[in-house]
Amino acid sequence: MRADLIDIQVEDRGDDVEITLSGSLGSYQLAAVREKIEMLTEGPGCFVYLNLQRAHFKVGDYLDLFLELLNKMHARKSKLVLIFDSDEQDEYFARYRNIFEIYPSREAYKDSGVSKQLQQIGVYYTSKTGVRLSPTVAITLALLILGWAITLFFIIAAQGRDIADKQAQIIALQAQKDRYVHEIDRLESSIGPLRKLGVVQDTTMLSSFGVIQDWVSYLEYLENDRREK
């Protein structure tokens, strides 16, 4: 019940955890605040932002709490960032300004530099997974993976181009075949009446492999042809 004057808000974005404290923080609330803050910072999170913009500190004891918290976060390889943008808080944290990382907002910290954040992520996941990579090895690995990715991309792109060419060829040949079939049909229909009259000899069937498929048939055809002549 002693914590009833404080509102606590947690926004968990995976690696980023923002804890917002608001309300009057006097000496009666200290124990409760300590318990709640420790409880909330215990879980996962590479960057823990403690938003104190709407907190009003009535006693100086909270500085010790935040210093302890900073140590704990440091031991857990997480980064503690204090978020506020007010003169009141500036004055409250003036003594330890160089110890704490203080930013006006979470976005401001995000914009403050990529390298230190990457380094922090590295440190955090090293402690979590037990795998430690030196920056040189990390960069080499990253370049290697990037190289593989680029090579893979080029191979896929080249194959894609090849497949596209082949497809275009197939489509063109298909169109050509259709055109020829159409043309043959047209020609057949035009000579149809003449063939009926016997003016034109129908040789189309002869050239067909469907009709003469073996030597016996071929010889029979030659014999018939000779007899007709």
For the bound state, the minimum distance from the C-beta of residue 106 to another protein, rounded and expressed in Å, comes to 11
SS3 150: helix
In angstroms, rounded to a whole number, what is the distance separating the alpha carbons of residues 142 and 150? 12
Q: Closest distance between another protein and the C-beta of residue 38, in Å?
A: 11
Nearer to another protein, 85 or 202 (CB): 85
Rounded to an integer, what distance in angstroms lies between the CA atom of residue 167 and that of residue 171?
A: 6
Q: 8-27: which residues touch another protein (CB under 8 A)?
A: 8-14, 17
Is residue 166 at the binding interface for another protein, with CB under 8 A as the rule? Answer: no
- In the set 4, 90, 178, 220, which binds another protein (CB under 8 A)? 4
Q: Of 2, 26, 34, 36, which one interacts with another protein (CB under 8 A)?
A: 36
Contact 100, 80 (CB under 8 A): yes
Binding residues for another protein, rule CB under 8 A, total: 18
What is the smallest separation between the CB atom of 10 and another protein, expressed in angstroms?
5
Residues that bind another protein (CB under 8 A): 3-4, 7-14, 17, 36, 39-40, 42-45
